[in-house]
Amino acid sequence: MERKEFLGLLSKGLIGSSLLVSGCSKLLNVTNPNNVTPENFWKTASDAEANITSIYGVFLGQAGWSCANNWYNRRVVQLYRGDDIGITHDVPDWWSLALFTTADGSSTAQGLWSQDYQGIFFANQAIQNIPNINMDSSTKTRLVGEAKFFRAFFYFDLLTNFLNIPLIVTVPENSSQYSQPQAQPSDVWKQIEADLNDAIAALPATYNTADLGRITKGAALGYLGKSYLYQKMWQQASSTFEQIISSNTYSLLPNYPDVFGLNTPFNAESLLEIAYADTTFQGEPMQTPRNYEEAPSQAGGWYECYPNQFLFNEMTKEKTVDGNLDPRIYTTIIFPGSGLLYYGKTYEQLFGSGATQLSWAKYNQCELPHPLDHYSGKHTRLLRYSDVLLMHAEALNNQNQVQVAIPFVNQVRNRAKLANLPVSMTQSELMSEIEHQRIVELADEGNRFYDLLRWGTIQENLTAHGAIGAANFVKGKNEYLPIPSSEMQTNTKAKQNPGY
C-alpha cells in the first residue's frame, strides 16, 4: 500500500500489536473495561485491518529508532554467509555468521527467530478471529489470505534458516500450550504449501494505487513455486512459475537500474518488496539504514560489507553483444574504471588514485550527488520476475526439458544485452549458466547462500571463492543456525540443532 495509507493504518496496527501480544492469553485477569482484550477487540472491519497492518509492521521491520531490524535480523543473516561478500565491520555477532562460528547466544539469530514468530502470532490471531467478524465478505477473504501468506512467509524464513522449528498454527489458550515440540520439516513445508494455496485463491492479481504494496496472488504463487523448488519438486515448481508467467502481470523492465530505483517502487518486475519512506511517524524514522551499512566510508557510509573479487570476476566474465561489460555491474558494484560518478565524484576522486576498493552500489544510493546525510527510503525487493524466470528454467532443466528452459534464461540475458544461449546446450551446461545468471542478476539481494544450500554446494563454493569462513564450515551443522538459547531455556520441548 502507499506510504501515507500505511502510516494511517500503522497507528491502529501499533496499538493492536502491543495489546494483542499481552492479550493473547486467557491467563490475564483484565478488569479495566476500557482495556483491549481478545473478547472485545475482534468486532469490526477496523479491528481486522489493524491486526493485518501489525503483520505488515513486522514485515517492514519496526524498531525503536528506525525500521532497522529487517537489516540487522534478516538481511545480515542472508548476506553474510555467502561466498560473494567481504566484511569489515566491528560487530562480533556478524563476524560469527561470516566465520560460521555462530553460537546459540547470537543476538542476530535470536532477533530473526523472534521477529518471525511475532509475525506468525499476529497471523494466527487474524486467521482465527477475522472469519467471525461481521464485515464485507470479499474484504474478509482477502485479509485472511494476506495473513496466510505472511504465516507461510515467516515459516519459510524460519525453515530455511533453522530447519527444526515448532509449527504453531493456533493462538495458545493457556500455559500448557506455550512449549511446543519441533515439527518435522516436511510437515512445515506442507503447512507453507497449504497457506500459500489458500492465499492464491483469496488474493487479487493487482491492486489500485491506494493499496499498492499489499500481498498479491503473484507473490503467493512465487513463494509457492520457490517452496517446491527447495524441496526438489520440479514439476510442481515449474507448473506454479508458469502460472505467473502466463498471467502477463509481470515483465522485465527494459533498464536494469530502474528495477531498484527510489522512484520506481512496485514496478512491473516486482512481486514482493518491503516499502520504506523518507519520512517519520510519531517521531520514528520509516527508513532503512542499509544505505549506510553498505556505502563506503569515503561517502559517509559505514562500509560494513562489500562485494568480493569472486563476484566482480563473475560480473565481468562475459561481454555484451556490443563488446561492453555486462550492464548489471554498473548498478551492483562501485568499481574503478567504470566512468560513473558516485556521490557526485569520480571513483578516483572518491577513493584516490590507484585504489582498487569495491563497494556495493545497488542499495546504497551512490546515485546521490552528495555524501549520505540520511537513511534510505528505497524499497527492498524480495522477489522479482527475473528470479521467477531463472527458477522456472531451473525446475524445467531438472526435468531434462533443456530446450524448453533456455528461452527463459535468454530473457534475463537479453535484458543485459547478452547473446542467446546455444540451443545445443546440455543439461549440465545450462545449470552452470543458471547459477552464473543468479549470481550476477541477484547479487546483494540475499539469495546466494540459500541457492548453495538447496544445491548442497556451500562448502565447495566457500572454499573455491576464498570466503573468510570456509575453513570453519562443518557439513551437517553450519547449513543452519543454532536454535536460540532463549528458546531452549523457555521451551521445555525444544532440542538444539546438530553440532551446536
pLDDT tens, residue by residue, 402-429: 999 999 999 999 999 999 999 999 999 9
pLDDT in tens, 149-179: 999 999 999 999 999 999 999 998 888 888 9
Residue 9 pLDDT:
41
Residue 52 pLDDT:
95
Please give the Cα distance from 57 to 63 (Å, whole number). Answer: 10
Count of residues making up the chain: 500
User: Confidence class of residue 18 from pLDDT cuts 50, 70 and 90?
Assistant: very low
pLDDT in tens, 187-236: 999 999 999 999 999 999 999 999 999 999 999 999 999 999 999 999 99
3-class DSSP assignment, residue 426: coil
Residue 14 pLDDT:
35
3-state secondary structure 80-110: CCCCCEEECCCCHHHHHHHHCCCCCCCHHHH
3-class DSSP assignment, residue 454: helix
Q: Contact 299/342 with Cβ under 8 angstroms? A: yes
Please give the Cα distance from 115 to 120 (Å, whole number). Answer: 9
Q: Which of 118, 110, 138, 114 is nearest to 13 (CA)?
A: 118
User: Confidence class of residue 36 from pLDDT cuts 50, 70 and 90?
Assistant: low
Q: Contact 455/462 with Cβ under 8 angstroms? A: no
Mean pLDDT of the chain: 91
| Bridge partners of residue 384, in order along the sequence | 270
- State the pTM of this model: 0.92
Residue 17 pLDDT:
33
Q: Could you give all domains of the chain from N- to C-terminal order, each with its CATH number?
A: 3-80+103-247+479-490 (1.25.40.390), 290-374 (no CATH)
Region 294-306 average pLDDT: 96
Residue 41 pLDDT:
86
